[in-house]
Chain A
Amino acid sequence: MEAEWLKQATGFGMWFIGALTAGNALLLTLIIYRHARKYGLQMGLKAEAMREGLKAALITSIGPCMGIFVGMTVLVIALGGAVAFIRESAGVGSIMFELIASRAGAEAAGVKLTREGMNSIGLATILWAMATGSVAWVLIGGVFTRYLPKLKDFMGQGNPAQMAIISAAIMLAAFGRLLISDSIKPLIDKGYWPPFIGMLVAFLVGIGWLIWSDKLKKPIMKEYFILIAIIVGMAISQMVRLSMGK
């Protein structure tokens, strides 16, 4: 029988909100497209150049869309198709952010981010975490875009190299804390190996895949590194669990 929270997460109401979310973004694109064409022609751009730009953009979108399709799998598995559609069609879009928000919401509500461990309060907390954590992007992008050129000049004193290393450190801290809680803690507390082995395999496969794609000079391969790493990691974890008889 389908759990109550999953019914709420995948019911008509949630799909309707998905249509509203994606629809609002589509409406903006249609308005902008109309203005871009009109004023493009007015400024002397050829209709053919605009058609070429549109066609090239659609073709270029295929690769990233495949990566997004793959990344969304994780969110669909965790929270159902409707929530994944709402968040990925016109939300933040970064699967990393969505999973951080999901994990933070589940933890604050005291539930596990699995289909078995989830409940309605956990789902609601996750949805609040996703909304409060991402609304600032929409507001800053929407309200302050007209002032951004000045702000950029003001913040231009920053050192990009320093920013890059701080960003990497922040990500390592965030994901390190999650990694320790979900794989090292079960091993130390209960001697339970499968999550730790899965994490380690995914870590090594992920690194190997990224290095390999750099060596082959095929950056497009990187879009699939998470998928490959988690599939191999999950398969080995499950094999270890089955061999342990648990």
Chain B
Amino acid sequence: MEKGEKFHGMSPLPFAEKEAIIKNEYGPRVHRAGLILSLLQAVIIFLPALYLLVAFDVWPGWGTIGKAFLSVAAIAGPYWFIEPVSYFLILGIAGTYISFLAGNISNMRLPVSAVSQEVAGVREGSPEGEIIGAIGIVASQWALTIATLAAAIIVTVVIEHLPKSVTGAFDFLLPCLWGAIFGQFTLRAPQYAVVTIIVGIPLVMWSGLPTWTLIPIMVFGLAILAIILFKKGIWVPKKS
């Protein structure tokens, strides 16, 4: 095919032949490497906490860890299952392994995969798309490693040289961050933002419930409310 054509990068081989290479040769090898290194990563993820325990004898206790886990799981839990399923067809086999091992899916892997396939002139979802998408996502991880290392070093150095009047502003980092993100989701579902504040203030201020229970209560409460109201056709966004 000529370079000016949209799918100029597609291979002239028959589809069945290309599909067989993906299924019988490329796929199994990627699955093996992906499985082994993902399992290894699942161990590495715990090393920072284990390092504090072994090197400095710092152990918060199962109860404290359990409370923290429950708060995180209440928010992240649904996404553990939804994201791999939702993104698989876009990311492909290799892209899924890298993306769920190294993160940054919607903001980086998806656009990078799409652009690299577009530029290389291959169809998304085709065997060629699987290969080019994988190469694109590989490149994005190389770029990400350099960017995160640079950020970690540069920001650390800059903070050390700032005057106290400036670093004092960082005391307000979290409330400002919550405000900005709350604003982002308020644009998507303003009614639920109002409900959150109206219900949340008395719950947080005067309910007397343990603080670690508040996120699960509010998250599941609002999720159930959203399901009920959506089914009744109430507060359904016009675009959806």
Contacts and interface: CB of A to CB of B under 8 A. Distances in A.
Nearest to B147: A65
A148 B152 contact: no
A136 B176 CA distance: 29
Contact of A149 (B88, B153, B205): B88
Given A90-B103, A132-B65, A181 B204 contact: yes
B200 A39 contact: no
A203 B71 contact: no
B29 interface: yes
B218 A210 contact: no
Contact of A145 (B69, B96, B184): B96
A212 B103 CA distance: 28
Contacts of B59: 124
Interface size class of A (residues with CB under 8 A): 35 or more
A82 to B, nearest CB: 7
B44 to A, nearest CB: 5
Interface residues of B, number: 163
Contacts of A121: 58, 60, 64
B131 to A, nearest CB: 4
A123 B201 CA distance: 28
Given A43-B128, A203-B183, A169 B189 contact: yes
A234 interface: yes
Given A198-B179, A199-B175, A210-B187, A180 B26 contact: no
Nearest to A58: B139
B94 A183 contact: no
Interface string A30-44: 111101110110111
Nearest to B33: A31
Given A49-B120, A137-B83, A146-B31, A127 B218 contact: no
A26 B66 CA distance: 32
Contacts of B89: 149, 152
Contacts of A93: 102-105, 107-108, 144
Contacts of B74: 174
Given A90-B41, A138-B42, 9 more contacts: A17-B51, A25-B141, A35-B30, A108-B64, A114-B170, A124-B60, A199-B176, A200-B179, A234-B172
7 contacts: A36-B134, A60-B136, A62-B143, A64-B107, A125-B60, A141-B38, A176-B200
